[in-house]
Amino acid sequence: MRQKKSVKILKKIFPDQYDIIYSKILANAKKYRFVKQTAPLSHKDVVLILYGDNFFSRTQKPLKALFSFLKRYASGIVSYVHILPFFPYSSDDGFSVIDYRKVNKKLGDWRDISRVGKSFNLMFDFVLNHVSAKSEWFKGYLSGNRKFCDYFIRADRNCDVSMVVRPRSHPLLSEFVGKNNERVKVWTTFSADQIDLNFKNPEVFIEMTDVFLFYLSRGARIIRLDAIAYLWKENGTKCIHLEKTHLYVKFLRALLNELKIGALIITETNVPHRENISYFGEGDEAHMVYQFPLPPLLAHALIREDISLFNKWLKSLVQLKKGEYFFNFTASHDGVGVRPLSGLVKDSEIDFMVKKTLNRGGYVSYKKNPDGSESPYELNISYINLINPNTASLWEKAARFMVSQFIMLSLKGVPGIYIHSFIGSQNYPEGVERTGQKRAINRQKLDFKLFEKEMCMEESLRKTVYERYAELLRARKTEIAFHPDGSQKVFNIGKKAFALAREYKNSKVFCVGNITARKIKVRNQVFKILRRSLAKDIISGKEVKLRNFEMKPFEIFWLKPQ
């Protein structure tokens, strides 16, 4: 009998135990009921990214307040909701998970998650590299519980970590007090409260795969593999992108196929572009990867008022196979990563971005290099504040920001919109002061009633941005040219204007936008590209003359040739 693909992959990871491991995983899978089919991704799909407690209310728990927000402001324009880790946790706003199978009681319960899932497709985080130091697993490890004795990675005298790639500047190894007051050092790639799991242990491998299946049974249609690049560790190596890390992603993908579960995998790897796209494998790993160079490169273009470098990068992107997608975004719960700029811009331009961030009220996080030096890892700042000068008016802030979102929404792939971009949030320095965490600048929690009052104010940045965003999303979903499997072609019509053609199944849209605060003339360039004198702008519904074409400050168009 021909071996299943998942079994063949498992054999490469555990040559001597693969059959027993597979049997246990399969037995666990039989406990669950899965949605076997889901609609394929289309031009109508947009992911809204938020925390379970982004909104709070005196009368209801956060997940209920969140549902009220979604029903009122996201219905009909957003198809997927990515609720960032909503499990019991001890730090890092949810990414230090105490219990993978429970909903944080402060937020609500699984019924609240299911309620959201009845109106929107769900995206869950699978925080698989590490678990909280406050978890029962790690407590069991420290107390000498035999079940957990090999759940974590202990650093012995022969542990060579000299080549390990570090995503942070704190020490890689953290010391704890174990049974009989024994001092033990374990791997903590991201913080001393986030203890790395030992996937070499078959029991960990089985347990975490079961968590993956559990999420699918709870309605997850997309699963985000958090910090997946660092999963597997081998002594004396860089411990990033190792072969068995890729094999695990392949295994999960094969398992989905064999169980006929219509869900998608997205890998979160904030690394240089070539390393990032390696997680597509040979079409047998992730369905989607984050387009990490997009946020910093687009911000750079808008600050410099020069789209040239951005266009050059767009043209260099590899042609993806059908069913492989970039997850396009400009902001997230983390900062704007600068590691993906490696090889794309000069170091002086990264320094320029760092200075702009600090000048505009933001912070900069650093990582430790193998030689002991430090370099910028991410910019911690609201995207609106990053791309706008401090002197910008409300109109200018909103207009420049919406150009950035228009460009992101125009690109081939699946759009991901962070909640604070969706509702026009600015820097939240109070969060940094209160928590001591730089990332808190873009993680504000909002009183739902006060938010609604602000949304009723005419002179409100939130109202302005949200209404413009809703307009763009409604227009975008009417055009199949924006299908994620469609084509895109970049045009150079001057360094002050973005120009891109999207096409799918004989449907064409020409995307053009002014990235500056000044009127620009592109004369007959758009006319020559489209070979038409007239086009309809699907955003406004108005007819546009393409001869002697001019654009007002920050003006944007999605043009359908007439």
- Could you report the per-residue pLDDT of 502-526, keeping only the tens digit for each? 999 999 999 999 999 999 998 889 9
Residue 523: its pLDDT value, please?
83
Answer yes or no: 226 catalytic: yes
What is the tally of helices (H) and strands (E) in the chain?
A: 18, 25
Chain segment 170-197, per-residue pLDDT in tens:
889 999 999 999 999 999 999 999 999 9
Q: Which residues contact 516 (CB under 8 A, 6 or more apart)?
A: 305, 496, 553, 554
Catalytic: which of 53, 226, 306, 371?
226
- Domains, the chain: 487-561 (2.60.40.1180)
Determine if the pTM surpasses 0.85.
yes
Structural element, H or E, at residue 520: strand 520-523
Rg of the chain over CA atoms, in angstroms?
24
Are 94 and 54 in contact, with CB atoms under 8 Å apart?
no
Mean pLDDT (whole number) for 14-42: 92
Which residue bears the tokens 């430790």? 368
Average pLDDT over residues 126-134: 98
- Give residue 323's identity as a one-letter amino acid code: G
Average pLDDT, the chain: 95
The model's pLDDT over 226-283, given as tens digits with 9 standing for 90+, comes to 999 999 999 999 999 999 999 999 999 999 999 999 999 999 998 888 899 999 999 9
Task: Give the helix/strand (H/E) hosting 207.
Answer: helix 202-217
* Structural contact between residues 214 and 103, judged by C-beta atoms closer than 8 angstroms: no
Residue 38 has pLDDT above 80, yes or no: no
pLDDT band at 1 (very low <50, low <70, confident <90, very high): low
Is 368 a residue whose pLDDT tops 90?
no
CA–CA separation, 152 and 204 (whole Å): 9
Q: Which residue has the higher pLDDT, 29 or 368?
A: 29
Q: Rounded CA gap, 551 and 514, in Å?
A: 6
pLDDT of res. 340: 84
Please state the length of the chain: 562
